[in-house]
Structure 1
Amino acid sequence: MVISSLADIALLSGQEILRIYGTEFVVETKADQSPVTLADVAAEAIIVGALRDAYPDIPVVAEEAAAAGRVPHTADQFFLVDPLDGSKEFISRNGEFTVNIALIENGEPVAGVVHAPAIGRIWWGGRAQGCFEAEVRDGARGAARPIAVRATEGALCAIGSRSHGSGEGDARLSRYPIATYLSAGSSLKFCLVASGKADIYPRFGRTMEWDTAAGDAILRAAGGRVECLDGSLLRYGKRNQADDTDFANPHFIAFGDTRFCALAS
C-alpha cells in the first residue's frame, strides 16, 4: 500500500533529521536566498533513494534537486518531496518543521504524509483511504487515530504561517467570520485544519508544490479543500507557466468546512 510505505520512508528520514538537529549544524543560503542545512540534503537523499527503490517507474521531484536544476520529466504520476519543510523553524529550533511526501496523479495529490520529527507526530491520508494521525516514538508509529475536518456554524479559527504572516487584517479574508488567528510553521497548518483544530488556512505568499502537496492530500482526505483565489482547486505538475517558475503555486485558501468555499465567490 503506497501510503503506508510513504509513512515508513518519512519516519526513516525523520530520524536522520533529528540526529542532525542535535548537532551544531551549518546553515547555507541557496540561490533563491532560502536557507538549507545538511538535514535537508541528507533527508532528501534517504527519501529519494527509498522511493526509487520501491517505485522505480514513478519520477520524483524533490526540492533540493530541483534547486540544483535536476528535475525529471513528469507525466500523469509523480512524487513531490520536501525533505525538510520549515527550514527556518529547524534553524530556530522551535520544532515546527516537517517531512512532506506526496503522490500526484493527474494533477491531484492522491496520497500524502507529513511527519513532524521534533514534535513526535505523523499524519497521513489519501483518496478513498481516509485520514489519520499518530504519535511517533523512537522512530515508530503509534496507534492510528482517524481525523476529519470540523463543521462550524459561526466563528472560524484561521491559521497562518509563523514565518510569513497569518493573513490577519487582509481584506481578502473579510468575507469569512474569522474570530481567532493562530500561527504554525511548515505544513503543520494543513494538518491542524485536517484534524479540526483550525478552520481555514489562507496563504497569500509564495509557495512551491512540494511545500503544499502532502498537506493538501491529507486535508482533502479529511474532507477539506484547497482553492486558488478564483475558486478552482489547487493543481500540481504546473510547468511552463507564463507568469512564474515551474511548480510554483498561486495564492490559495485551505478550507476545513467546505461550505465556506462558497463565500469566496
Structure 2
Amino acid sequence: MPDRYRFGALSACEIVGDQDVQVRPWRLAAADSLVVAVLLGGEARLEQDGRGTSAGPGECLLYTGSRPFRLAVGGPYRYVVLGIPGLPARLAAFDRQVTCAPATRILAATLAEFARQAPRLDPATGRELGEHVSGLLRTVLRTAAPCDAKPDGLHTRVHDHIESHLAGDLRPEAIAAAHHISVRYLHKLFQRHGETVCGYVRRRRLDRIRRALADPGVAHRPVPSVAAQWGFAEASHFGKLFRAESGVSPREFREAALGRNS
C-alpha cells in the first residue's frame, strides 16, 4: 500500500515498487487539476497531449489528471505524487517554458528533499514546509511565461513596498505616488515583466490569506475577517476570486489545510 502524508493543505503519496509499471487512467479527474510527481529512484516516461518527457532520480513531472496520459516507470522505483489545492493546470504539461524555467530546477531539488524527509517531519514543521512548497510551485507556474526583462532597482523597490503594505492602500495611484512616478509608468514597469499591478497585488494578498487559512492559530477567525485584513472587504467578491485562483472555496481550502472533514 502507498504511504500517505499530509502537510497542511498539501498531501503526498509515496509509491515504491520493484517491477516496471505503466499507468493509463481509466477515470479522469473532473477538474483541470495539476499533478506533481518527484522521482526518487528509477526512471519514468510521461506522455500527454502528443508530447512526452523523461525523468530520472531527483527530477519532477508536471501534468494534469483531467486529460489522458501515459506514465511508464522502470523499477526498482520510488516516486512521490503531490496534491496541492489551488493549483489548477493552466499550462500544458510539457510546455518548454515550464520545464526549462530556472525555478523548475529549484523546485525539483526542493521536492526531492522534501519527499525524502516526509516520514520524519512533525506536524507543525510539515505544515509550514508544505506551504513553502506550494508557494514555490506557484512561482514556477507564474514565471513560466517568457520574460526578457530583468528586475531593476525601481522594480525591486516597488515590490518591497507592496509586500510591506499588503494590508493597506495599494491602488496603483498610491503605489505610484509613493515612488514619485506616474501611474502610466508604473503600469509599464509591470507590463515589461509580464504582469499587471492589480494582478500582482491580488496574487500576493491571496498568498497571505492562504497562509492564514492554513494556520491553526487563526482557525477561530471567520474567513471574511481574514480576507478583510488583507484588503478584501466584500466577502462574495473575495470568494469568487479565491475559487477562480485556487480552484476551491476558502472554506474548503481551510478544511483541507487543517485536516478537517467538515
TM-score scaled by length of structure 1: 0.28
Greater share of helix residues, 1 or 2?
2
Which fold has the larger relative contact order, with Cα–Cα distance below 8 Å and residues 6 or more apart in sequence?
2
Whose Rg is larger?
2
TM-score scaled by length of structure 2: 0.28
Greater share of strand residues, 1 or 2?
1
